[in-house]
Structure 1
Amino acid sequence: MSASRLRASWFRLGRIERYVLVQQARSLAVALGVISALIMLIDFVEISRGVGSDVDLSGVRILGLMLLKSPQVIIQLLPFVFLFGTLAAFVGLNRRSELIAMRAAGLSAWRFVLPAAGAAFLFGIVTVAALGPLAASGDGLFQRERTRLSGAANAAEAVWIREGDDTRQMVIRAERQDRTNARLLGVTFFIYANDGDGHRTFRERIDAASASLSAGRWRLVDAVGAQIGQRAVRYETLDLLSSLADDEAFERFARPQSTPFWSLPGQIARVEAAGFSSTAYRLRLQQLLATPLMFAAMSILAAAFSLRLMRLGDLARMSFAAVVLGFGFFFVNQAASAFGSAEVIPPWLAAWLPPVLTALAAFTLLFYTEDG
């Protein structure tokens, strides 16, 4: 075959692949629109009944809260968008006998399935790197706004904070917060000393009427401190070194789902420095890293189930089986997340096992369909 004919052959194949990608993109847009509309409708009703029952909110305000909350839920359901959208695209190509024409022309299924999976993988990277952080920030704003509107931020509930370093740990309990004046009220400091072997020994307890954090120091007012075996000492004011930023005393750790991808490593370090378990944040980080693979696996799975020729029948049954299998892998993902959160299995295994299983099942079916 001459060089010109070879280039023309590759050009025709490129046009076919682009055509398949366009059909997939259209179906994905429809699937995304339907799922997004359902999620936003459910969120609108939920916010109206939840936050709207505590305070009087206008429809525009509820709509704004919905727009903050819904993107995060939509991104969590994007694997189903790729499952339904890719399935619809290839079923449509099959019904119009376009797949038959492609296969009759000697085009392997791999030549149009893998580009579709590659596009899904690239979209997964964009989702993790750009869309996901925006959605997570919106979800964080929604959580804070809901807390403010419901009055939970001003509720008289105990506040617990933990901080420290290799030589000292402090557990801080406050009866309530005074956000207006940036103070903790009714505060108790439990101070522990760490030795070289990692053992922790109680050293001192300090009770104070209020405490404020500024420039790396706790300023305690009307404080009483007592060490083991010694008399209590009263202080009008007392300063204690702190490793917290000024606003961290009044902010709880953000939920893993509300933490943007680029902030997760720093959040994990902060949580571990405070002495808390970072399993949920590590699991979230690994799940985000595995997102592109999950999108690609769902696309291959949907395409593999829809490649059966119309003349052989059972296309509807195969499509239904793809949807059932997709939901099955979703439940496997939820179960693995539960096991990972409970530290039954490592976070990396809980995050990567479902997409890897999905990809293996999809490739197995595609090999069987294409190569027998």
Structure 2
Amino acid sequence: MATGARRLMNILDRYLFRAVATATLVTLLVLLLLEMLLTLLAELESVGQAQYDFMAALHYLLLIQPRRLYDLFPMALLVGSLLGMGALASGSELIVMRAAGLSLTRLTGAVAGTGLLLSIAVVLMGEFIAPPLEQFAREQRATAKGENLEIRGGRGFWARDGDDFIHVQAVLPGVRLAGIRVFRVNPDARLEWATHAESARYQEGRWQLEGISRSRLEGVAVLTEYLPSLTVASAISPQILDVLAARPDDLSFRDLRVYIDYLERNGLDAQSYQLAMWRKAFAPLAYLAMLVIAMPFVFGPQRASGAGQRLLIGLMLGLAFFLMNYLLGNVVLLYGYSPLVGASLPSLLFLGAGFYALRRLR
């Protein structure tokens, strides 16, 4: 008897898994197609620039899809669970399952298990596949358009390496830099010397600078020397340059940790990168929150509503989560609160609201 009951529960679990997983994947596919269409329309404005043709734009579009999938997954999971479970509710299948002995907690757990399996695949993609493909896509796009990969809106970027303050105008393909300026400051915060290099190439763990002019202060005079090349060691590695060329949210958890350590060692602000890192760490919690917040709309008064109404509810909830995540992140960065709070609070609030609503349904 017990064996038969367990077998029945396993069958129902698999049935729920198919319903939720299928609806989630279909929703994700639709969202990806819409996003691809909008991105393609935007990219068509650049087609014809240098060697950037339609096929290059399409290639770029395909390479960035893993990252877009990672971004769209929470919305797809929320809408998919509403549509999948809602279809079962409309067909009275959930009533039959509960009559067969499946409690509300057991049903929610089965749906959460489905989300967990899908989430593992998405998290692995977001960590190991999406970041390198996104970076490669940006580099290929910049090369085809005849551009350098300029950072921070074309004004280059600043970095600190011990007592040296470094400005780089552009990152070129092949781990090369253009327009490098290095300012050495002594412990008294006085400028010792300034170096300008036309270009630099990373070789065997060191930077090979070329076309160098170095100026230093001697009393009231400025002495300048010119060198054809110079090899220097620096803590700024190609990995850190890849980080600088990307938005914090586009980086892997490992790259974020490396760059945060670099910023903290040099006494620089790392909050935006800490926020991105904690968001990645709490991504599974966000996915769970999407599933839990959907359940009251399946078992509550809205269970008899149509697919269109459930779709609207899912989109509104997903938009609310996105806006809360965005606004809290900006508040954290603006007022200097802990990035851990900004990354976890939206998920915790949605999770708490979902469990509270489920408790009222019992």
* Range of TM-score over shorter length: 0.7 to 0.9
Q: Which has the larger radius of gyration?
A: 1
2:105 to 102, 106, 110: 110
Report the Cα distance in structure 1 between the residues aligned to 2:173 and 2:65, rounded to whole angstroms. 29
1:265 is matched with 257
* 1:136 matched to 2:110: no
Q: Closer, same or farther in 2 for the Cα pair 1:211/1:21, shift >3 Å? A: closer
* 1:233 matched to 2:219: no
* 1:30 matched to 2:22: no
2:61 is matched with 66
1:202 is matched with 190
2:14 is matched with 18
Deviation (angstroms), 1:245: 5.4
Q: Give the residue type in structure 2 aligned to 1:204.
A: E
Report the Cα distance in structure 2 between the residues aligned to 1:301 and 1:154, rounded to whole angstroms. 42
Q: Closer, same or farther in 2 for the Cα pair 1:92/1:257, shift >3 Å? A: same
- Secondary structure of 2:213 counterpart: strand
Query: Is 2:148–2:172's contact at 8 Å kept on the other side of the alignment?
Result: no
- Secondary structure of 1:306 counterpart: helix
Report the Cα distance in structure 1 between the residues aligned to 2:126 and 2:207, rounded to whole angstroms. 38
The 5 Å alignment of 1:63-212 reads 63-153=58-148, 159-165=156-162, 169-173=163-167, 182=176, 184-185=178-179, 188-194=181-187, 201-208=189-196, 210=198, 212=200
Mean Cα deviation higher: 82-91 or 332-341: 332-341
Report the number of matched residues. 354
Mean Cα deviation higher: 354-363 or 39-48: 39-48
Q: Give the residue type in structure 2 aligned to 1:190.
A: F
* 1:47 matched to 2:40: no
Q: Closer, same or farther in 2 for the Cα pair 1:145/1:221, shift >3 Å? A: closer
Deviation (angstroms), 1:282: 1.1
Q: Closer, same or farther in 2 for the Cα pair 1:317/1:134, shift >3 Å? A: closer
1:275-325 Cα offsets, whole Å, 9 max, x none, are: 542222111111111111111111122122111378x85677973545433
Query: Is 1:90–1:307's contact at 8 Å kept on the other side of the alignment?
Result: no
Query: Is 1:225–1:234's contact at 8 Å kept on the other side of the alignment?
Result: yes
Mean Cα deviation higher: 236-245 or 282-291: 236-245
Query: Is 1:172–1:189's contact at 8 Å kept on the other side of the alignment?
Result: yes
1:365 is matched with 357
1:305 to 289, 292, 297: 297
Report the Cα distance in structure 1 between the residues aligned to 2:21 and 2:212, rounded to whole angstroms. 66
Query: Is 2:83–2:307's contact at 8 Å kept on the other side of the alignment?
Result: no
1:240-294 Cα offsets, whole Å, 9 max, x none, are: 7432457579764432133222322112223444554222211111111111111
1:197 is matched with none
Report the Cα distance in structure 1 between the residues aligned to 2:234 and 2:94, rounded to whole angstroms. 63
Mean Cα deviation higher: 67-76 or 215-224: 215-224
Query: Is 1:75–1:132's contact at 8 Å kept on the other side of the alignment?
Result: no
1:242 is matched with 233
Mean Cα deviation higher: 293-302 or 252-261: 252-261
What is the TM-score when the length of structure 2 is the normalising length?
Answer: 0.84
2:213 to 219, 223, 231: 223
1:112-168 Cα offsets, whole Å, 9 max, x none, are: 21121133134323322334431222221222233333333188x664443322xxx
1:332 is matched with 324
1:42-92 Cα offsets, whole Å, 9 max, x none, are: 11111112x315345443322111012233123112111111111111111
Query: Is 2:51–2:145's contact at 8 Å kept on the other side of the alignment?
Result: no
- Secondary structure of 1:205 counterpart: strand
Report the Cα distance in structure 1 between the residues aligned to 2:186 and 2:255, rounded to whole angstroms. 30
Query: Is 1:118–1:296's contact at 8 Å kept on the other side of the alignment?
Result: no
1:281 to 253, 269, 273: 273
Report the Cα distance in structure 1 between the residues aligned to 2:342 and 2:96, rounded to whole angstroms. 42
Query: Is 2:70–2:125's contact at 8 Å kept on the other side of the alignment?
Result: no
Query: Is 1:47–1:62's contact at 8 Å kept on the other side of the alignment?
Result: yes
Gaps (5+ residues) in structure 1?
195-199
Report the Cα distance in structure 2 between the residues aligned to 1:191 and 1:209, rounded to whole angstroms. 14
Q: Closer, same or farther in 2 for the Cα pair 1:55/1:272, shift >3 Å? A: farther
